Amino acid sequence: MRISKSQKKKYFFIFKSMQTVSCFLVILFLGMFISPANAQSLFQFGTNAQGGFPKGTFRDNIGNAIGGLNLEFTYSPRKMPLAIGISFGFLGYGSETISESFQATNADFEIDVRTSNSIILGHLLFRLQPEQGRIRPYVDALIGINHLTTSTKIIGPDSGPYDYEISRNNLNDTVLSYGGDFGLMIVVVEKPLKLRKQSAKKRKWGVLIDLRVRYLKGGEAEYLIKGSISRVDDELVYDIKRSTTDLLTAQLGITLNF
């Protein structure tokens, strides 16, 4: 039985995903044998500005650089310095706004038609990081999804409380994504966390500057780009692109430990 080229790519992607999951389990296993710091922060919450740099055909289609935001929340068990959490990100990769006239029976209106293209990223995150030191390097392993979506909305005329918007989704696709990142956190301030009940382990809180580089290997998706939608003979025509969705991102932000 012959295996098609698309099936080979699918099996290879599944194999790489299994490899990534195996790496997660190895990191989890090793983390159990590393002694935690005397004072520990159980939770981290971070918000980062991020610049995205698509790779390969994906870059050829949507451009060299895009921008957005990233949010993260992690929990670190008391007996090991391995944090487990979620990472949620947004990247916009192009929008266009066209002003048009809308004719009603009794009046003419000027409206804006805005089409936006974006990537929503959601990943399960495993982080290995020391709990002490002013500069704290870390490594993350991630597995999750890339969701590519294009939406168009009509923005009505400015009329105070009677403004309105009409929107619709043109196209969306969700694919598996996995990867990792390397980063540094620099402590700005860190102090003991005062609790009503004294626990066996000391707690602390802190504010840190977070710098990182992340690489995500994304599956093959269908998506639209700026200028992909046109009207021919009163019919909408979509010029749909298809490629893998690999991304390199550089991020800078603030993390709160507590």
Domains and their CATH numbers in the chain: 5-257 (2.40.160.20)
Q: Which two tokens stand for residue 47?
A: 């918000």
Percentage of the chain exceeding pLDDT 90: 48
What pLDDT was estimated at residue 126? 95
What pLDDT was estimated at residue 95? 85
Quickly list DSSP for 54-110: E-THHHHHH-S-EEEEEEEEEE--TTSSEEEEEEEEEEEEEEEEEEEEEE-SS-EEE
Q: Is the pLDDT of residue 164 over 60?
A: no
What pLDDT was estimated at residue 33? 44
Q: Is the pLDDT of residue 26 over 60?
A: no
pLDDT tens-digit map of 226-252: 888 877 887 878 889 999 999 999 999
Higher confidence at residue 103 or residue 208?
208
Side-chain half-sphere CA neighbours of 101 within 13 A: 3
Confidence of residue 255 (pLDDT cuts 50, 70, 90): very high
Range 216-222 average pLDDT: 95
Q: What is the DSSP letter of 160?
A: G
Higher confidence at residue 130 or residue 32?
130
Q: Is the pLDDT of residue 134 over 60?
A: yes
Higher confidence at residue 39 or residue 143?
143
Q: Which two tokens stand for residue 38?
A: 């005397």
CB of 116 within 8 A of CB of 72?
A: no
Q: Is the pLDDT of residue 219 over 80?
A: yes
pLDDT tens-digit map of 76-120: 886 667 889 999 999 999 888 877 777 766 777 777 888 999 999
pLDDT tens-digit map of 175-188: 999 999 999 999 99
Residue 26 in 3-state DSSP? helix
What pLDDT was estimated at residue 40? 65
206 vs 193: CA distance, rounded Å? 9
